[in-house]
Amino acid sequence: MKSEKIVGIDIVRSGSDLSQFRYAMVFLEGGVLKAVKEVSFGGLIRELWDIRPDILATDNVLELGGSKRDLLKVIKMLPPSLTLIQVNVESGKLVKVQYLAEEAGLTSDKSKLDPFKTALVVAYLAREGYGSRLKVFEDKVKIYVYPGRSGIAGGSRTEKYVRNLRAIVTRHVKRVKEILDKNNIDYDLAVRRSDGGIEKALFVVYTSRERLYGLIKQVKSKDVVVRIRPVLSKSFLSNIAEFRGSDEKRYLIVGYDPGVSVGLAVLDLDMNLVYVTSGRELDRGDIHNLLIKLGHPVLVATDKNPPPEMCRKLAASLGALFYVPQKPLSTVEKEMIVAEFVKQHPSIDIKNSHERDALAAALKAYKEFQDKLEKLSYRLREIGFHDINLQKYKVKVLMNEDLSSIIEEVINDYVREEKKEPPIILRSDVAPQTRGTEEVLKEKINTLEKEREFYKQRVLELEKTVRDLSSRLDSMSSELSEKILRDRKISELMQRVRNLEAHLRILENENNTLRSKAINYENLFMKLYTGTHVLVPVYSSKCLKFLKLSKERITAAFTYNIDEALKEAREFVESSRLGFILPPTALGLSKHLVEEELIPAVSAEEVLEVNECIVAIDKDSFDRLVALVPQLAEERRKKKYGLTYEDINALIEEYRKSREF
């Protein structure tokens, strides 16, 4: 510890909340005293992040927050690499700091130390190896990847916008996965998929937070968020009683349904349900620790084929067999398996589909070996072994050992156990009593009478306690009812606010659309007014009412599909009454129509849509079309008859003169 950074603290003043706390803080680096100061709670957290100490030493860990509840808040703010040491704990028992300071040669008496001396003493005691190390964070990190914002305000393009966000999330998930795989870091991955990619993902990475520094960065942008959170040590944060197994270790079949919400079901080898649960925060490390407390897992089962990788990893970490069904279990099959089991055990409550799937996987695995397990039990009962515990022998059935060999092993083990028992000595007479029977009975009666008086008094005390508690319960029930009504009203109002906000966003989108249209129409009216553009009808079945065809005037029509238009309007084109305006992108097509087919068609320089039946085009394009219609009509006649208008007029004039002659 000689070169470590150590911070020792002691409380100077507490308060009703953490902002009022003041601490004495001492900083040692390599055994050299660097700083002694008084800091506020905020100042303490800032100093710890600036210094990044290896050890934070104290004589009472609760002084960090004043209570267990506030201690949780404080721990979440500490640097992940920090180790917390309570120096006055030896062999699980508290020892006075003054005694330890004298033992270590830091003080010469056992008088009470002020906060600054205490902070200095605990820092040096931690440096010398005193106390108990309390690991704040586990070697486990959770990485959350999700969109930076929702797609509610996307208007008519909402779906495309949301798909784009999911594609961005998918790319970040892939990048994190590649980094973890490249550095051989063990992890579990749970994702929620939707159209277009991954909606959100959770990595549970089995390593320390320090190892991820420089590899994976936190991201917070408008498109995606990558959040990295170390996992608090549960053994430090809670005093939950651990599961205590019996002297006989139970052997377990584990059904595991991984995902964002995890399902877990545990059976013993007698088909008794040991444990069933589900939850979002149940990762592989938590499940491993839980199963070790419940017993000895010998088989991990899944309901899917191919099996999820997390199931395979769990089986490997437990050293258990891995069961995969020949084909994935259908929903109907799982419902039937679980319903049959629940019918035999009515007290079992299966809360959701995740618990159902996990239990179905465990039951399916058990049924694969059920015949051999029951046959083993029957054969041993037939021999006379009724009270023997068969759990460890049933494990051998799961490992496909021969039934005859297992039975022989049971018999041999039983014989060896019999030899260890002390012999039973039978006596034909009763040992003489050292005291008179009457005297013994009197003493026993006196003892029983004293016990009766004690219990009578105890009953009176308990009855009074029950009355007090009943009164308190009535009062609390009344307060709780009022609180529930108040919370329900608040919830209703919040929902109304959310609905109104959503409606407001819809109206804002509509307003923006209408405003954009108004600007476009204003621009269009100005162009029509100044004469730079003219209105032209669209040639379609819906819009024929806008086409005013006459022999005296040339009519122009706009179309996106000239082939369809010519099927119906070729007669008008050939009679020189109709010409077509095409989009700006159809310049090549219009040139082909004019030169090759002698059809009047002009590609407009600008087209503005008014509605589905009217467009506005630039005046130059319109004028070019009007000039082109008679010109092409003349060329069509020349091509058909070989004569132009001038030739025909000359012939008529020559005929007229010959008649006169």
Task: Encode 214-277 in three state secondary structure.
Answer: CCCCCEECCCEEEEEEEEECHHHHCCCCCCCCCCCCCEEEEEEECCCCEEEEEEECCCCEEEEE
CA-CA distance, 523 to 218, in Å (whole number)? 47
CA-CA distance, 511 to 504, in Å (whole number)? 10
Please say whether the beta carbons of 366 and 271 come within 8 A.
yes
User: Which pLDDT belongs to residue 106?
Assistant: 79
Phi/psi at 458 (5° precision): -65, -40
Reported as a single tens digit per residue, the pLDDT across 403-449 is 777 777 777 777 665 544 443 333 333 333 334 456 656 666 777 77
Q: How deeply is 278 buried, as exposed, middle or buried, from its count of CB atoms within 10 A (0-12, 13-18, 19+)?
A: buried
CA-CA distance, 111 to 575, in Å (whole number)? 120
DSSP conformation letters of 399-428: TT--HHHHHHHHHHHHHHHHHHSPPPPP-S
Q: Which of 277-286, 455-464, 580-589 has the highest mean pLDDT?
A: 580-589
Please say whether the beta carbons of 280 and 257 come within 8 A.
no
**Is the link from the previous residue into 306 a cis peptide, with omega within 30 of 0?**
yes
DSSP conformation letters of 443-475: HHHHHHHHHHHHHHHHHHHHHHHHHHHHHHHHH
CA-CA distance, 572 to 44, in Å (whole number)? 90
CA-CA distance, 482 to 426, in Å (whole number)? 72
Q: How far is CA 43 from the centre of its chain?
A: 34
Reported as a single tens digit per residue, the pLDDT across 147-173 is 887 655 545 466 777 888 888 889 899
Reported as a single tens digit per residue, the pLDDT across 579-627 is 888 898 888 888 888 888 888 889 888 888 888 888 888 888 888 888 8
Q: Which residue has the tokens 């017993």?
A: 295
Please say whether the beta carbons of 3 and 30 come within 8 A.
yes
Position with higher pLDDT, 50 vs 467: 50
Helix and strand totals (H; E) in the chain: 18, 24
Reported as a single tens digit per residue, the pLDDT across 532-591 is 888 888 887 777 777 766 555 677 888 888 888 887 778 777 777 788 888 988 888 888
Q: How many CB atoms lie within 10 A of CB 18?
A: 20
Neighbouring-strand partners of residue 56? 7, 84
Distance between start and end Cα atoms, the chain: 137
Half-sphere exposure of 220 (CA within 13 A, CB side): 2
Q: Which residue has the tokens 């319903």?
A: 339
Reported as a single tens digit per residue, the pLDDT across 52-96 is 898 999 888 877 876 666 777 788 788 877 888 888 877 666 777
CA-CA distance, 38 to 27, in Å (whole number)? 12
CA-CA distance, 112 to 130, in Å (whole number)? 19
Neighbouring-strand partners of residue 190? 202
User: Which pLDDT belongs to residue 303?
Assistant: 93
Specify the DSSP element, H or E, that contains 191: strand 187-194
Q: How confident is the model at residue 324 (pLDDT cuts 50, 70, 90)?
A: very high
**Hey, which bits of 41-171 come out as E strands?**
55-58, 83-86, 89-90, 93-94, 132-135, 137-147
- Global confidence as pTM: 0.40
Strands 83-86 and 55-58, sheet pairing:
parallel
Q: How confident is the model at residue 388 (pLDDT cuts 50, 70, 90)?
A: low
Strands 83-86 and 132-135, sheet pairing:
antiparallel
